């Protein structure tokens, strides 16, 4: 669809059938989270954990609720492999992240990113409105298992829904990490040249 046609359709009030996010499940692409201390976190560095990735605006009360719930679940499930991450993407977010973290007393990493990489990661059309928070749940193998926008029914019982989803992924197929002994046994039983 050309830009001219899209513009004409919008001017005429025609609703475009656009997706608000990518298909699920799908592999999570790499994502860089900028931290206020100048460091960067790569999403791929959390492979092996169940990740809740919240894209947020630091001024959004619903985002604050989501972050607080993730922090609570992190205290409960972090030792079992749950890892929440926050990414603010409002203008000049890097300036506001420290106060956001301090206000909510968050114990998980919260950084920031530009809007374009966020939209790309979410596979969200620039022509479609986006409500926050945008919550993405990624399993231990790096597969996006759920993606919920701010208007999703998921947020009507957010804490219970998130706890149930994370708990299931922590214990689900491939969710439990094999013990070092089990890994050694399975490695020794593979024929030479076997692909892992």
| CATH number listed for the domain at residues 24-172 | 3.40.30.10
Q: Give yes or no for residue 179 having a pLDDT over 60.
A: no
Q: Distance of CA 182 to CAs 36, 48, 152, 178, 191, Å?
A: 40, 17, 41, 6, 16
Structure token digits, residue 138: 């990624």
Share of residues in the chain with pLDDT > 70 (%): 78
pLDDT, position 16:
34
Structure token digits, residue 71: 């922090």
Please give the DSSP secondary-structure letter assigned to residue 16: P
In this prediction, residue 196 has a pLDDT band, given cuts at 50, 70 and 90, of very low
Q: What is the pLDDT of residues 146-167, one digit of tens each?
A: 999 999 999 999 999 999 999 9
Say if pTM beats, i.e. exceeds, 0.75: yes
In this prediction, residue 173 has a pLDDT band, given cuts at 50, 70 and 90, of low
Residue with tokens 């029914």: 153
Instruction: Decide: 177 and 79 in contact? Cβ < 8 Å.
Output: no
Share of residues in the chain with pLDDT > 90 (%): 76
C-alpha span between 178 and 87 (Å, rounded): 31
Domain range list for the chain? 24-172
Q: Give yes or no for residue 177 having a pLDDT over 60.
A: no
| CB neighbour list of residue 70: distance below 8 Å, 6 or more residues apart | 52, 54, 84, 86, 108, 162
What value does the mean pLDDT take over residues 78-106? 98
Q: Give yes or no for residue 112 having a pLDDT over 80.
A: yes
C-alpha span between 170 and 177 (Å, rounded): 9
């Amino acid at each position: 669809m050309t830009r001219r046609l899209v513009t004409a359709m919008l001017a005429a009030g025609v609703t475009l059938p656009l997706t608000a996010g990518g298909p699920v499940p799908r592999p999570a692409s790499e994502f860089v989270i900028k931290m206020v201390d100048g460091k960067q976190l790569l999403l791929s560095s959390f492979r092996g954990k169940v990740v809740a990735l919240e894209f947020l605006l630091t001024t959004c009360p619903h985002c604050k609720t989501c972050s607080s719930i993730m922090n609570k679940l992190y205290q409960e499930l972090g030792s079992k492999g749950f890892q929440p991450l926050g990414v603010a993407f409002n203008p000049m977010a890097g300036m506001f992240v420290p106060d956001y973290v301090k206000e909510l007393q968050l114990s998980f990493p919260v950084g920031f990113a530009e809007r374009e990489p966020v939209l790309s990661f979410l596979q969200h059309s620039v022509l479609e409105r986006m409500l926050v928070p945008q919550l993405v749940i990624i399993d231990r193998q790096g597969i996006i298992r759920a993606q919920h926008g701010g208007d999703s029914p998921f947020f009507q019982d957010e804490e219970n829904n998130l706890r149930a989803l994370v708990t299931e992924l922590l214990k689900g197929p491939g969710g439990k990490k094999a013990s070092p002994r089990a890994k050694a046994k399975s490695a020794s039983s593979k024929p030479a040249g076997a692909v892992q």
